[in-house]
Structure 1
């Protein structure tokens, strides 16, 4: 089998149906779709599974988080290639052909990401990012921070251009299954958020190159299925803490503690906003 599309779902049933409908229309032959549901409270997932008999549904009895669930699903995948895809996305007719053509045209491929547009058709800058260095991290967390160095988002490529990038989005990530397994999949320390940054950086550390394909796009209803509450903030900033401890603390403990203090400050600021 050539391709396995992996979708980890959690309580986003309306979005998931739109995603699966788009895949039914445009999925190439010799492909499979594996939907791994992380014990969604909305049991509509059971009815959805019945409506897509050609797709494989795994209704897990507990919420494993994004990374662990993807790793379990990929371990069952039969495809030479895997596409990690969010349930709140829609793919279009030229999506899969463009991925294959571009993958054949580049060297030393780690993973490919594509141009993502939100529900209003606006470009999502997380489609292409830089390694979150101390400078890039502070420019992301604090809009007033300005210095010298790469910013959090990659600004060297235009949204509709193709080229090398450092960090891709886990909402849409295409790679060889063999490469996914070589890098160890997603780091299961993360429950949600940060896994895509980590695996992108790990691919670079193994000597692979990540690429951005701006010629095609998908719709990603980013954040529309996510409740922004204290649990969300804990997961988000907790993931960032894991990343900087893993990659920055060993190299420069002084900068690590500065970054950690900045993260904790920003986390507190966001929690205060929720109470207003």
Structure 2
């Protein structure tokens, strides 16, 4: 059956940023594992990669069936890049998948089948594993005052909804609080209803924000272990102090958005104290402490170091 905007089941969306070898591999794995009776499209958003990387990507996958490439003139980050892909998406489901992931089975069809039968679920994720076969942060907990001061265990014990720890290997479909942004399978209707990703976040914390809004909207989030994804990790970035600062910028934005003034004060105080203890044990500890203590100013975001190509 020929794909038309009205009959597409799943839109796969992935972002390329100077890592075309990863992007080509994930596109090939989607095509290889997705059954022909699933009508789908693949949208690759290139977030203003260097010309050589984009050319390699374009020359390799432009002839692939069901694949389209959108060339962004500026790096809009995770949220902005994915929302650019959404602008051209036609599927009943949106599957946001990091380009440094690989499908190990027919992940899209498995998730579609489960959500087709459970209208209360807005978004799901797969069992994401690393090179050692360990769970790779498929699910986690939303920040809280208790979590920041006393840790995850105490937070779970006192929470009204004790979601499972990310250290537990779940073997059955299970409701979880937050899922990894590397693999998010959304019912398009629900994604659109809450406004999609908040593009105020450049990198990091987009998944915490949107999952919080899903729960606030009365819908559920599930982990589906039958669907399996391998995640290489760090495909588009190498961890450095600039990225660590970017995390704290996003984390501060998240806290400011979802907590009261008093809760924000408690969480940020705990965060500053934690960074102070790391001054003597962590590389760049002093720089990060001063940065967090100054409020993780947004004007230092990598967002403002991008130029239009």
TM over 0.5: yes
**Is 1:5 the counterpart of 2:16 in the alignment?**
no
User: For residue 155 of structure 2, what is the aligned residue in structure 1?
Assistant: 149
- How much does 1:130 deviate? 2.1
Q: Tell me the distance in 2 between the aligned counterparts of 1:235 and 1:272.
A: 20
Of the three residues 234, 241, 245, the one matched with 2:245 is 234
- How much does 1:161 deviate? 2.3
Q: Tell me the distance in 2 between the aligned counterparts of 1:30 and 1:147.
A: 43
Q: Tell me the distance in 1 between the aligned counterparts of 2:58 and 2:203.
A: 24
Contact map agreement 1:39 1:59 (CA 8 A) in 2:
yes
Contact map agreement 1:85 1:171 (CA 8 A) in 2:
yes
Q: Tell me the distance in 2 between the aligned counterparts of 1:240 and 1:9.
A: 24
- How much does 1:22 deviate? 0.4
User: For residue 174 of structure 2, what is the aligned residue in structure 1?
Assistant: 163
- How much does 1:171 deviate? 0.7
User: For residue 179 of structure 1, what is the aligned residue in structure 2?
Assistant: 190
Greater Rg, structure 1 or structure 2?
A: 2
User: For residue 60 of structure 2, what is the aligned residue in structure 1?
Assistant: 51
**Is 1:65 the counterpart of 2:72 in the alignment?**
no
Task: Identify the range of structure 1 (51-60 vs 257-266) with the bigger mean alpha-carbon deviation.
Answer: 257-266
Contact map agreement 2:163 2:176 (CA 8 A) in 1:
no
- How much does 1:35 deviate? 0.5
User: For residue 39 of structure 1, what is the aligned residue in structure 2?
Assistant: 48
Alignment TM-score, normalising by the size of structure 2: 0.79
Task: Identify the range of structure 1 (172-181 vs 146-155) with the bigger mean alpha-carbon deviation.
Answer: 146-155
CA 1:114–1:254: 2 relative to 1, 3 Å: same
Unaligned runs of 5+ in 2: 1-7, 286-309
- How much does 1:187 deviate? 0.7
CA 1:147–1:69: 2 relative to 1, 3 Å: closer
Contact map agreement 1:162 1:212 (CA 8 A) in 2:
yes
What do you get for the CA RMSD once the two structures are aligned? 2.5
CA deviation vs aligned residue, 1:53-81 (integer Å, no higher than 9, x gap): 23111121110111011111111101111
Q: Tell me the distance in 1 between the aligned counterparts of 2:51 and 2:284.
A: 27
CA deviation vs aligned residue, 1:98-141 (integer Å, no higher than 9, x gap): 212211232412101111101232211x21122222222446xx
- How much does 1:97 deviate? 2.8
CA 1:120–1:68: 2 relative to 1, 3 Å: same
User: For residue 264 of structure 2, what is the aligned residue in structure 1?
Assistant: 256
Q: Tell me the distance in 2 between the aligned counterparts of 1:270 and 1:154.
A: 32
CA 1:216–1:259: 2 relative to 1, 3 Å: same
Contact map agreement 1:90 1:219 (CA 8 A) in 2:
yes
CA deviation vs aligned residue, 1:22-48 (integer Å, no higher than 9, x gap): 012123442110010111236322222
SS in 1 for 2:143: coil
CA 1:176–1:138: 2 relative to 1, 3 Å: same
CA 1:3–1:216: 2 relative to 1, 3 Å: closer
Contact map agreement 1:113 1:172 (CA 8 A) in 2:
yes
The number of aligned residues is 267
Unaligned runs of 5+ in 1: 140-144
